[in-house]
Chain A
Amino acid sequence: MGQYDRHVFVCTSGETCPTQGDVEKFVKILRDGARAAGRQQDVRVNKAGCFSQCGHGPMLVVYPEDVWYHGVQESDLKEILDSHIIGGMPVERLRYNPGKPGANKIEVEVKTPQAEKAAGPVWHRVGAAADIAVNGIKEVAANGTRVVVINTGRGFVAYEAMCPHEAIPLAEGVCDGSVLTCLEHMWQFDVKTGAPMGDAQEGLKGFPLKEEKGELYVAMA
């Protein structure tokens, strides 16, 4: 036996897993879950490098059972945690079984800067413009990345979903048409540019957004 009842490795620094889901958050959710179950002494969750299975992520591995999970979504984590990491029963529906040992990368849309320039941005539909009222803030997923879309009253803008201060969802904040405020600690941002205002020490990362026939699209690099 190893040092822990369950030892979990989450790929957080490979080439594709971090683009396929918020894997840093996965680690936090799993750690918090183990702690909430009072198992923080027996469960270890580590961030891991590439498993050389690129394209099948987000991916995590649980020992000692040596069970590999692929295509893991945030909504799957509770089941993996409760059933397997805490309960010892692997979650069969998410088990990775490519049918061949060793490295197993598939080509996914990891583009070189040149290729991307040539191909232009990849637009992802994130919902209907009519669903977001003036000054409304809605969190959406664009190709697995959490993004907030805001109706400023004079157009829509898209930013990273979490306040850079304490990782609080900006969708819980307040927009008055020109300023976006995270209520948690009153960090404020220029809603048109994402630039920090007042106490905020960092700005928001923005994403290109376009509206076509009432549908909103966000471009992911």
Chain B
Amino acid sequence: MKIVVTGKTGAADFECDPGEKILHAALRHGVELPYECATGTCGTCKAKLVSGRTDSQWPDAPGKKYLKTEADILTCQSVAHEDSALEVFALKAREATATPRACAGVLRDVRPLTHDVVAFEVDLDTPMDFDAGQFALLTVPGIAGARAYSMVNFERGARRLSFVVKKKPGGGVSEWLFGGGVEGTRLEIFGPVGHAIWQPGTAKHVLCIAGGSGIAGMMSVLAHACQAQHFAQWDGHVFFGVRGARDAFFFDELDEFRACFPARLSITIALSDEDVPDSLVAKYPGFAFARGFVHAVAGERMKDRFAGVRAYVAGPPPMVDASLRLLLREARLPPADIRYDKFS
């Protein structure tokens, strides 16, 4: 089926397979329809159906609250039944390196990082290129709907993708992963997607503000920036918020990044629910520690140091919201230098 899309900045058309999400079809053909979460919640992929016939695969998607008329659809949840025409606000050029595609992989090496965070790997059937900070949509057989997870690792032509997941009671995929005995399962994957990317040659200091499992994409950004020797020339400020010492993970990995560029790369850990234990300070002498919410700690310690910064934000929605307010109002960063994902 042929889908024609018009936006204020131009028009494009692409082929959409039966049962394929319109957004996925567009992206894999290099047509950059608007999207953020790609999983039905944020509403960014809203489009107006001008002609043709489509159906939502998830009629109760939370993102529907952004739709204004009955002609509006969420392209990330909709499939086409015939040739259709859509209107969107704007089509943009893709900034990310790789064209996303559908593929498959096998779940491997599920292991706990804390009492409520697990890491897992997916061995891909075919290698994938992605930019640091991007995410992939994973679909588990028997569980409706795709979930978005940021890649933790970074490498070109990756054969294996690394992810972390926080345990969410009632979360279908999260409970399934925590249930155990799931290694070897084949997963459907669509990716890479997401705009919260870091690319070499970005002449900016890097600021990461992460809460909990939001650190995932930052690990990829730091991995690539370290490989590219970015912190030989530019500053890196990483603020990682967790509740308490028992929620700590990836500290060893962060310390390895820091040790490569101790002059310019700093790691600050914010504990929101307890005072910083001496044992933690003793174990990570290269880190700074503070008690408080991570956005507040970042705001305090970054004061007057926001010039020339590209910021990355990920974590629980209230933390992301507070961080965006900080970065817009206090730091006065332009939106192009505030990178975040709206999934969760």
Q: Spell out A's residues near B (CB within 8 Å).
A: 28, 32, 135, 165-168, 174-176, 179, 181, 183-186, 188, 198-199, 201
Contacts and interface: CB of A to CB of B under 8 A. Distances in A.
Contacts of B332: 176
Given A165-B89, A185-B36, A174 B43 contact: no
Given A176-B328, A186-B338, A198-B335, A167 B66 contact: yes
A181 B329 CA distance: 9
Given A167-B66, A174-B328, A183 B36 contact: no
A174 B324 contact: yes
B44 interface: yes
Nearest to A31: B70
A199 B36 CA distance: 14
**SS class, residues of chain A in contact with chain B:** loop
Interface in B64-107: 65-66, 68, 89-90
A218 to B, nearest CB: 24
A201 B328 contact: no
A149 to B, nearest CB: 18
Nearest to A198: B335
B339 to A, nearest CB: 11
Interface residues of B, number: 21
B53 interface: no
29 contacts: A28-B68, A32-B65, A166-B43, A166-B46, A167-B68, A168-B66, A174-B324, A174-B325, A174-B328, A175-B329, A176-B328, A176-B329, A176-B332, A179-B328, A181-B328, A181-B335, A183-B321, A183-B324, A183-B325, A183-B328, A185-B36, A186-B335, A186-B338, A188-B335, A198-B335, A199-B90, A199-B335, A201-B8, A201-B90
Interface of B: 8, 36, 42-44, 46, 65-66, 68, 89-90, 321, 324-325, 328-329, 332, 334-336, 338
Of listed A32, A179, A186, A198, residue having the most chain B CB within 10 A? A186
A176 B335 CA distance: 13
Nearest to A178: B332
A170 to B, nearest CB: 13
Contacts of A198: 334-336
